[in-house]
Structure 1
Amino acid sequence: MTEPSLTAGERIDGLPSQNIRIIQNPDMFSYSLDAILLAHFADVKGKGRGHAVDLGAGTGAVGLFYAPKVSGRVTLVEIQPELAAMAQRSIDLNGMSDRVSVLQKDMKNIFEDIKPGSVETVLSNPPYFPLNDTTKTNHDHHYELARHELTIDLPNLAQIANKLLKNNGKFYMVHRPDRLADIFAAFAKRKLMIKRVQFVYGKAGREANMVLVEAIKSGRPGGVRILPPLIAYDETNDYTPEMNNILYGKAW
């Protein structure tokens, strides 16, 4: 495998359990635990031959961590050209160019490239923070787009996922627990029925700081399962055994 030529500020980070390496630049944006946990949380339908799409892919972490779980195509959709270019180099670095590709576009404009109703699985680690009169955005444009709903909000993201998915296709998302009411409302209005929810805690005894959600397009209402909590760190600030296994154990 040929090592890439890194530009100033870039580095290669990896997820040992999936044997995947990601090129990123912390001065622009870099993935964190939420991307790993979303890829781990997302199930595989059937034999995993269907098309999967990562909306707002950034440097491609979610889609690339998920790709070893399936045998079908994975498309990484990213609006920022610099991040899309890094994602493409990570695809090449991992030898996945035969079935993983980057679509550098606003996700609202992808339907000339991806046929509506053709996708089995949609994944998204979207901007967490809504825009309002009190919003304080980051001065760095890359971080603004990644953290704040400047180009996409929850209702529009849910609509795009619905349009992409086949009936009974699944949408997986990681978000903040304080947006849970917004998530349920946006999904229900667009026939995305939430079926599994898992809360993630930094440490035991603290409030949840992440929520993982699975929804099915045109699924039956009700039947929501709340999974056991996932705790990231123990009292000595080391990873818990469950988290350590996700990061360094056997391939998912």
Structure 2
Amino acid sequence: MNQADLKEGERLDGLPSQGVNIIQNPDMFSYSLDAVLLAYFANPNKKGRGLTVDLGAGTGAVGLFYAKKVKGEVALVEIQEDLAKMAARSTALNALNDRVSVIHSDMKNVFDQVKPGSVDTVLCNPPYFPVKETTKQNEDEHYQIARHEVAIDLPALAQVANKLLKNKGKFFMVHRPERLDDIFATLTARGLQVKHVQFVYGKADREANMVLVEAIKQGRPGGVKILPPIVAYTDQNDYTKQVQEILYGEPWTLD
């Protein structure tokens, strides 16, 4: 790993199991457990030897965590220049410039640099909240774009993913369970058939607060599998053994 060049207000956050450190500025945006779990959940074809695109990559956490378990190239697409620059520096920090690139672009314009139908896998940790007249949005621009569907909404995201992917390519996303009906309807309408769903619970006795979704472009309808749940915390507010293994255990392997 190379030397970190941190600027004022920045810090390093790491994922020990993957040996990856990410440059972040908490005043802009910081990744959380959903990014880690999405990268862990993503199970691409051919052990990830093809091209992967991480849409709305932020500081690059999802794509960089994922890059360490695959063989192919990864493109991190981020609309915000400050975050894209941090992602580029984190890529260099982790000595992944040979396989990971950063594209500073609105994801709707990514086809200027990534050929439609050329991508094997698409990852996305999108903004969770739709914008309505009654929506109370975060005043900070970085958080607003990351959390609310300001720059792109779910239908437009699904359309971009479909256009990027080869037939039978895979789309992986983390979202909120309360949007699950929207997710199924939106993905199906755009040729992305949901195949695997995994719910994440803060604690075992609470409702799920995250859902991980895998869909296949031009996949056969039906046959959705619900995977065993992930529970994040014990009653003592410590990480469960399952999550500790994801964060601090052996490097991830693909099926």
TM superposition score normalised by structure 2: 0.98
State the partner residue of 1:105. Answer: 105
Against the structure 1 CA distance between its residues 10 and 46, is the aligned structure 2 distance closer, same or farther, given a 3 Å change threshold? Answer: same
Q: Distance in 1 between matches of 2:184 and 2:2?
A: 45
State the partner residue of 1:207. Answer: 207
Describe the superposition over 1:119-155 as per-residue Cα deviations: whole angstroms up to 9, x where unpaired: 0000000000000111011010000000000010000
TM superposition score normalised by structure 1: 0.99
SS in structure 2 at match of 1:102: strand
Q: Distance in 2 between matches of 1:104 and 1:214?
A: 25
State the partner residue of 2:170. Answer: 170
The Cα shift of 1:8 comes to 1.0
State the partner residue of 1:10. Answer: 10
State the partner residue of 1:87. Answer: 87
State the partner residue of 1:222. Answer: 222
* Structure 1 runs (4+) greater than 3 angstroms displaced: none
State the partner residue of 1:180. Answer: 180
State the partner residue of 1:46. Answer: 46
The Cα shift of 1:112 comes to 1.6
Q: Distance in 2 between matches of 1:53 and 1:161?
A: 9
SS in structure 2 at match of 1:12: strand
State the partner residue of 1:70. Answer: 70
Percentage of pairs with the same residue: 69
Amino acid at match of 1:163: K
The Cα shift of 1:235 comes to 0.7
The Cα shift of 1:2 comes to 3.4
The Cα shift of 1:198 comes to 0.4
Q: Distance in 1 between matches of 2:2 and 2:31?
A: 23
Aligned residues: 252
| Unmatched 5+ stretches in structure 1 | none
Amino acid at match of 2:55: L
The Cα shift of 1:114 comes to 0.3
State the partner residue of 1:249. Answer: 249
1:44–1:69 contact (8 Å) kept in structure 2: no
| Unmatched 5+ stretches in structure 2 | none
Q: Distance in 2 between matches of 1:67 and 1:216?
A: 20
Q: Distance in 1 between matches of 2:235 and 2:167?
A: 44
2:54–2:124 contact (8 Å) kept in structure 1: yes
The Cα shift of 1:41 comes to 0.2
State the partner residue of 1:237. Answer: 237
2:2–2:94 contact (8 Å) kept in structure 1: no
The Cα shift of 1:45 comes to 1.1
Q: Distance in 2 between matches of 1:132 and 1:117?
A: 33
Against the structure 1 CA distance between its residues 41 and 47, is the aligned structure 2 distance closer, same or farther, given a 3 Å change threshold? Answer: closer
Q: Distance in 1 between matches of 2:99 and 2:40?
A: 19
RMSD: 0.7
